[in-house]
Structure 1
Amino acid sequence: MAESYQDIVSILEGAVLSDDIAAHRNFWRTLTRDEFVAFKVFGLVPLVARSETGIGFDAAESNLIKALEARPPFGRDIGVVGANFRRMPAGRPALAQDQIDRIRAWLEAGAPE
C-alpha cells in the first residue's frame, strides 16, 4: 500500500519527537500536500525536486531526502565533505533508513494525498 501525505507527516513528526523546531519550524504541521511539495525552506531551498520532465518528483535530488540521508549540502555536523547544513533532523537521532525509504517511495509514487 502506498504511503499517504499523512503518513509522511507522521514520520517527520516522529523524527523530531513531536518537539517544536526553532529554525524552520515544523512546517509540515500546517501545510497541505500541495503546499508541502512546493515548499521552500527559508523561502530559498526547494524541499522537493521536480523530475526533469516536470511531471512527478525526483526523490534522489529532493532536499528532503538529501537532508535526512546527510548528502551534500547536508551533513556538516557529521563531517560530510562539502556540506553547508546539518543533517536533519538536526540535534536528534538520524531517521531510520526504512523510514527515509518510505518517504522516497512516496515521492516516487507522485506524492499521493
Structure 2
Amino acid sequence: MGINTFREVVDLLDAAVEGPETVVGPPHHAFWRGVTRDQFVAIKLLGQPILVPGDGANSNLILSLKGLPPFGDKPGAEFPRMPVGFDPMPDESIRSIELWIDAGCPDAADAAETA
C-alpha cells in the first residue's frame, strides 16, 4: 500500500485511534490533525522531531508506532508506545508511513494543485 499524500497519513493515524473524531489525550494529543504536510514534517514533540524525511526507520514517529526504544510498553521505556491508550497500529500501516517518510514525505495533492 503506497502512500502519496499527507492526507493518507492522517487517515492511517486517525484509524489507529478509532476515527477522526476521537479525542486523543496526553502525552501528544492528535498532533497530525489540523496541520499542513509542511507543518507536520516540522513538528517536534518533547523537543524532538517526529520524523526525518528520507529516514523512516530512524524517525521517532515510526519508532513510537513500533514500540522501539526509547518508546515502548515495557519497564525502562522512556516514552509510551503510540497510540497511547489504543491497540497498536497494524504493521502494514506502519510500514506504509515508513515508506512515505523514506520517499521524502511526498504530497501528490500539493503537486497536483501547483501543476
Q: Shared topology, TM-score over 0.5?
A: yes
Q: Name the residue aligned to 2:85.
A: 91
Aligned to 1:26: 30
Q: Which of 58, 65, 68 is matched with 1:68 structurally? A: 65
Give per-residue Cα distances to partners, 1:68-105, cap 9 Å, x unaligned. 00000000x2x26x521111001110111000010011
| Equivalent residue, structure 1, for 2:39 | 35
Unaligned runs of 5+ in 1: 50-55
Paired amino acid for 2:15: G
Q: TM-score of the superposition, structure 2-length normalised?
A: 0.82
Unmatched runs of 5 consecutive residues or more in structure 2:
108-115
TM value normalised by structure 1 = 0.84
Q: CA deviation at 1:45?
A: 1.7
Q: Could you tell me how far 1:41 is from its partner in structure 2?
A: 1.2
The count of corresponding residues between Structure 1 and Structure 2 is 103
Between the aligned residues of both structures, percent identity stands at 41
**Any runs of at least 4 consecutive aligned residues in structure 1 with deviations exceeding 6 A, and if so which?**
none
> Aligned equivalents of 1:30 and 1:103: distance in 2?
18
Q: Which amino acid aligns with 1:36?
A: F
